[in-house]
Amino acid sequence: SAVISQKPSRDICQRGTSLTIQCQVDSQVTMMFWYRQQPGQSLTLIATANQGSEATYESGFVIDKFPISRPNLTFSTLTVSNMSPEDSSIYLCSVAGWWGGLSNTEAFFGQGTRLTVV
């Protein structure tokens, strides 16, 4: 299993500013994911973060808006840049499950960062 800690748990930010969200895992993991959950909606995958390489972004998300760092195997950050009220969401990080042969494990999720942009 993996225990994931996110900081901050919530924040209220002014439009035009940036917020960096931290995700700490209690074990070394290769692949991490960042999600956004807009009010009343399901989770949408933002990007895949592999240690030692550039993050891979899903359609509709760009690095300039959501830069991601992955400096080591237990930590990642997501920055929400130049924020607008439309960025008000819950942002979650996740540790990937593995597959292959007899090993098919589940994904683990942080409790999320609730961001409100005013």
Question: Which residues form the interface with other proteins (CB under 8 A)?
Answer: 4, 30-31, 33, 35, 42-45, 48, 92, 94, 96-100, 104, 106-112, 114
* 5 residue type, one letter: S
Shortest distance, position 82 Cβ to other proteins, whole Å? 26
Shortest distance, position 114 Cβ to other proteins, whole Å? 8
**Residue with Cβ nearer other proteins (18 or 72):** 72
Shortest distance, position 69 Cβ to other proteins, whole Å? 19
CA separation for the pair 91, 115 (Å, rounded): 8
Answer whether 65's CB lies under 8 Å from 78's CB. no
**Residue with Cβ nearer other proteins (95 or 117):** 95
Shortest distance, position 107 Cβ to other proteins, whole Å? 5
**End-to-end Cα, the chain, rounded Å:** 37
CB contact burial 1-32 (16+ within 10 A = b; e otherwise) = ebebebeeeeeebeeeeebebbbebeeebeeb
**Residue with Cβ nearer other proteins (31 or 73):** 31
CA separation for the pair 29, 23 (Å, rounded): 12
**Residue with Cβ nearer other proteins (14 or 103):** 103
